[in-house]
A and B are shown apart, each in its own frame.
Chain A
Amino acid sequence: KQEVTQIPAALSVPEGENLVLNCSFTDSAIYNLQWFRQDPGKGLTSLLLIQSSQREQTSGRLNASLDKSSGRSTLYIAASQPGDSATYLCAVVGLKTSYDKVIFGPGTSLSVIP
């Protein structure tokens, strides 16, 4: 059974700092991995999607990497800003049973201090 974990559970950094969020999954047979952002009281916003054949994706100050063999993905945020404060979730779509199974991690709560 696929399990997705995220470390750390919470992170507080000063504005301008570069940071890394981690996502780990137990079954490497994945279809893709996505990173989402969730602001308090709101739904999720898709940030980056990495196909199983890809190693990384970039969007602006965000860079996500994927290492299937080790069951890890990282989300790198450069030059953090207070507006980056939110909860970041990763989600893995499994390959073995069907394309339909998506498992979300518990999220990392990020606070960027001005």
Chain B
Amino acid sequence: DAGVIQSPRHEVTEMGQEVTLRCKPISGHDYLFWYRQTMMRGLELLIYFNNNVPIDDSGMPEDRFSAKMPNASFSTLKIQPSEPRDSAVYFCASSLAGRLYQETQYFGPGTRLLVL
């Protein structure tokens, strides 16, 4: 398997624009996680899915952020409208079924987002 795939790897956009980040988890993994990493706040869990269903979105910073998982092989994280403070590295991770956080999470390479 190619591992967790994220696209784009880098994104530069202007404030107010819509940004869509994409993730393809490892085949057969039932859990999918979206994280954000900044120098100020470190690594934070935004939302996670189990079998395509959002389970906990309490980490989503505000209504401008939304995430979907229309099928087992694809998820999106959308920011609309984007703001400079959204600039960060966004990671997607997936893990096998089982108890949450009992299975190893496999991280994608991340998307570096810069909002000007």
A100-B44 contact in complex given A44-B91, A46-B104, A46-B105, C-beta closer than 8 Å? no
Which of these, B58, B104, B107, contacts A43 with CB under 8 Å? Answer: B107
Residues of A within 8 A of B105 (CB): 44, 46
Q: What residues of A have a CB within 8 angstroms of the CB of B102 in the complex?
A: 32, 49
Q: Is the CB of A99 within 8 A of B100?
A: yes
Complex: how many Å from CA A98 to CA B48? Answer: 14
B-to-A contact residues, CB < 8 Å:
4, 42-45, 48, 55-56, 58, 91, 93, 99-102, 104-110
20 CB < 8 A contacts A-B: A31-B101, A42-B107, A42-B109, A43-B4, A43-B91, A44-B91, A44-B107, A46-B104, A46-B105, A49-B102, A89-B43, A91-B43, A98-B56, A99-B99, A99-B100, A100-B55, A102-B45, A104-B42, A104-B44, A106-B42
Q: List 5 A-B pairs, minimum CB-CB distance, nearest first.
A: A43-B107, A104-B43, A100-B56, A46-B104, A44-B107
